[in-house]
Structure 1
Amino acid sequence: MMHFRLRRHLCSALFSMDRSIALECVSGTKEMADNPIPLVIVEGFLGSAGAAMGSKFTEYLDRGSKEYPSRRTLFASVGPVSSLHDRACELFYTLLGGAVDYGEGHAEAHGHQRYGRVVDNALYPSWSLDSPLHFLGHSMGGPTIVKLQSLMAAGFFGDRGHPDMVLSLTAVSAPFRGTQLVYALGERTDTAPAVRPFSAGAILSRIIHVLSYLSPLLPAALDLHAESRCLSYRDASLPCLWRQLCKSDWAQSRDATPYDATFQAAEEREVDGEGQPHQRTFYRSYSASLRHTERDRSYRDFIANILSPLYISSLIMSSFNFSVLQPTTLAIVASVSSSGTEARYPDRPPENDSPGREHYYWENDGVVPVFSQFHPFGCSTALCRHHSKRTHTVTGRPYPGIWCVYALEDASHFSIAPFWWGSRRQRAFWLELGNWLWAIDHHRLIL
């Protein structure tokens, strides 16, 4: 009799506990439905994602959860040619508000002012551990978010920042480990960040300086976030502009996007441990590949391909000689060719997908090599899970602290973002992204 009573009390207690948990989950689901966690989109090099993408993608982002309100999407404006450090600082204060602080040590080391603009109208001033955000970065937007999380983990922003404030990070065509295109445009392979005279990169840097000088008169779409460098006509004279046009202290420095896109800079970040995944953040990356280089025999729509500018840049990248890099023993390059195993599938390469270890030297999306789009660090050391090229959707429960990598075959650097094409692939991407974000939101409620 006593055993029966004990079991009855135990069952009653368990029922009450399960009921309270269920009620808590229902309450949390209702709260999440009323206020779905926003998605922050971060631009790439020279990007203006907000203007180019518009709002058409949101229709597919929210299609899988019609019973809930639309998810708020925030386009964060950061310096289009600034370094990852500066972009990460600008992203932080764009969301929370206040004077952009690049750090005293960083500003002194790179010769610009410590503070930038004052952000009065913050995009999400309630951003905190209790109110985290989803992030999506296209191209250099991906490494920018990684840099932001690394700075927060290092305590750079004090009590205002914590790495768990980044609930998820989705990267599309992100050059986590550098790209050879930056050398083709003018960056020197032996003395980076020096730029070759009369190269495309040198011409672009002169255009940037002219735009910076005229920045007070230009529209917001051409905002360079260069206040800390005092390059506008309000702060600099014409002789100063001429000196920068002759030799740019900005473009030819370690504090600008071109250098951060080099293999040397990527290796420096990895040596410092930057980019290690955090246990409460959900990571995912999409690696695009044109597969239309001279060494690839499977051509599709040949005429359309050769008319694309990205086809030409893809050919240039495919012929890049990695041996000219200084130092020549880059760990990044070595990790691609080590042991002859495909980087995409570090443990068990799928059948009929083993073209040789040199494959990852040249396969690219017209801007970034495939191996660089996976994640920071090589697959031999990174926590990652690579999905077959025949799989493009996430199924099952999402897991934090690990990079999930998905292949976009026959896709260019701009197939998904920042432009809206309305293609089948693009619609499927935003629909699946919306479902993935909702899965993370629900998963967070039960932790």
Structure 2
Amino acid sequence: QGEEHSKACGHSQFGRIYEQGHYPEWDEDHPIHFVGHSAGAQVVRVLQQMLADKAFKGYENTCENWVLSVTALSGAFNGTTRTYFDGMNPEDGKSLRPVSLLQLCRIGVIIYDWFDIPWLKNYYNFGFDHFNISWRKIGIWGLIDCLLGNAGPFASGDWILPDLTLQGSIKLNSHLHTFPNTYYFSYASKRTSKVMGITVPSGILGIHPLLFIRILQMSLWRHPPDVPPPYKGYRDEDWWDNDGALNTISMTHPRFPVEHPSQLVVKDSDCQPFLPGIWYYKIVEGDHILFIVNRERAGVQFDLIYDSIFERCRKHAFRKNPTMPNHIS
């Protein structure tokens, strides 16, 4: 699979080599709790599916039970209408509009990766090393080819934004499972409220200034009338509540094309007992970066969320009861 995919998309099959993992003991008997933010939550789901599918050559003993729990902070499970505002075509969810914010980002990323300045790449890496678009490898003509859209990640469609459109997420979700032995919890963020039946940003003071306009935009989203809806039963108003980057409906649990088992959590007793195979989700007031960037800005809510995550992980630290020394027969 990996070899076929890399050939089709024009990149190396393998990227950076990590000689030693952080947790070499990782296996079904030593499973891991994962916490993912935004698209990272969907990446964890893809990883778990790949473990279940034994997709890693040389590791035939993997299975879905290597993942004990998945906690999502503003997880991008069902895509976002933000992608269309920024430049993705609602017609196909794959191509970019010629004039858009994403086109500017595309040009900037290509030039950044082409210059391949080590200290800059150590500071921030866009993750395109496997496309080999450094000036050392492709030269000036290769750069021009990438900028013209004939080569590189944006030519192949093998980058994150197509997967974050509603169409792309539906395609991705169609082969991602919720597994019966894994615990799932999701925090869905929302920075909108209804005023006289109209969805608007909920106040100005608590919203990051860079996100305020984006929240307002997303709360006014209208799917183009001349474009077929992304799924049967689609309604614009379902997608108006948002946190500036993702729609709240997208963050609760996988919904499209098939809705996975879920339970809204209003108070702690709503998830007691906390059962595997069900997406428990909580709606929290906050913009998309409130719980990841600045602890001071989020205040006590920041600590409460992470305390609850760690407490939940500790409570479900074992899938099976551990054998203690005095229990050995």
TM range (shorter): 0.7 to 0.9
How far 1:228 sits from its partner (Å)?
1.8
Give 1:372 shift.
0.5
Flag the 1:392–1:199 CA change in 2: closer, same or farther, 3 A.
Answer: farther
Aligned to 1:426: 302
Match of 1:225 in 2: 127
TM-score normalized by the length of structure 2: 0.87
Equivalent of 2:187 in 254, 261, 286: 286
Shift of 1:188: 1.2
Q: Deviations 1:399-438 (Å, cap 9, x if unpaired)?
A: 11111011103x1111212443351111110111111011
Structure 1, gaps ≥5 residues long = 1-101, 338-357
State the alpha-carbon separation in 2 of the partners of residues 186 and 430 from structure 1.
34
Q: 2:255 is matched with which residue?
A: 377
Distance 1:195-1:111 versus aligned 2 partners, 3 A rule:
same
CA distance in 2, matches of 1:299, 1:260: 26
Match of 1:235 in 2: 137
In the TM superposition, 1:189-268 aligns within 5 A as 189-217=90-118, 218-247=120-149, 249-268=152-171
Partner SS state of residue 381, structure 1: coil
Match of residue 368 from structure 1: 246
Cα distance change of structure 1 residues 324 and 119 upon mapping to structure 2, 3 Å threshold: farther
Displacement of 1:249: 3.8
Matched, 1:184 2:62: no
Give 1:131's match in structure 2, choosing from 26, 30, 47: 30
Contact 2:208 2:287 in 1 (8 A): no
* Separation of aligned partners in 1, 2:138 and 2:240: 43
> Would you say 1:313 and 2:214 are equivalent positions?
yes
| Paired residue secondary structure (2:102) | helix
For residues 333-344 of structure 1, what are the structure 2 equivalents within 5 Å?
Answer: 334=232, 337=235
Q: Distance in 2 between matches of 1:162 and 1:140?
A: 22
Aligned AA (1:220): N
Amino acid at match of 2:222: N
- In structure 2, what is the Cα distance between the partners aligned to 1:325 and 1:396? 46
SS in 1 for 2:135: coil
Query: Conserved in 1, the CA contact under 8 Å of 2:194 and 2:200?
Result: no
Larger Rg: 1
Residues 211 and 380 (structure 1), Cα distance of their counterparts in 2 relative to 1, 3 Å cut: closer
Q: Which letter does structure 2 place at the counterpart of 1:417?
A: I
Contact 2:107 2:147 in 1 (8 A): yes
Once the two structures are superposed, residues 173-231 of structure 1 have per-residue CA deviations (whole angstroms, 9 ceiling, x without a partner) of 11111101111111111143221223110000111111211234224121233232111
Which residue number in structure 2 is paired with residue 154 of structure 1? Answer: 53
The 1:240–1:168 alpha-carbon spacing in structure 2 relative to 1, beyond 3 Å, is same
CA distance 1:369–1:182, change in 2 (3 Å):
same
- Specify the code of the residue in structure 2 equivalent to 1:121: Q
Q: Structure 1 stretch 172-181 or stretch 160-169: which is displaced more?
A: 160-169
Q: Distance in 2 between matches of 1:192 and 1:323?
A: 13
| CA distance, structure 2, for counterparts of residue 235 and residue 379 of structure 1 | 41
SS at match of 2:35: strand
Aligned residue pair count: 317
Partner of 1:416: 291
Q: Give 1:104 shift.
A: 0.7
Whichever residue aligns with residue 401 of structure 1, its letter is: G
Amino acid at match of 2:289: F
Distance 2:226 2:160 in 1: 18
- Partner of 2:154, secondary structure, is coil
Give SS of 1:236's match.
helix
Q: What's 1:441 paired with?
A: 317
Query: Percent identity between the aligned chains?
Result: 22
User: 4+ runs of 1 displaced by more than 6 Å?
Assistant: none
The C-alpha deviation readout for 1:241-261, integer Å capped at 9, x for no partner, is 122123264224331101110
CA contact (8 A) 2:68 2:319 kept: no
Deviations 1:96-149 (A, max 9, x none): xxxxxx811111221212122211232222211111111000001000000111
**Given that residues 251 and 258 in structure 1 are in contact (C-alpha distance below 8 angstroms), is that contact kept between their aligned partners in structure 2?**
no
Write out per-residue CA displacement over residues 322-363 of structure 1, whole angstroms, 9 at most, x where no aligned residue: 24585x1422xx4564xxxxxxxxxxxxxxxxxxxx642201
Write the distance in 1 (CA, Å) between the matches of 2:226 and 2:276: 35
**Structure 1's 249 and 443: CA in aligned 2 closer, same or farther, altered over 3 A?**
closer
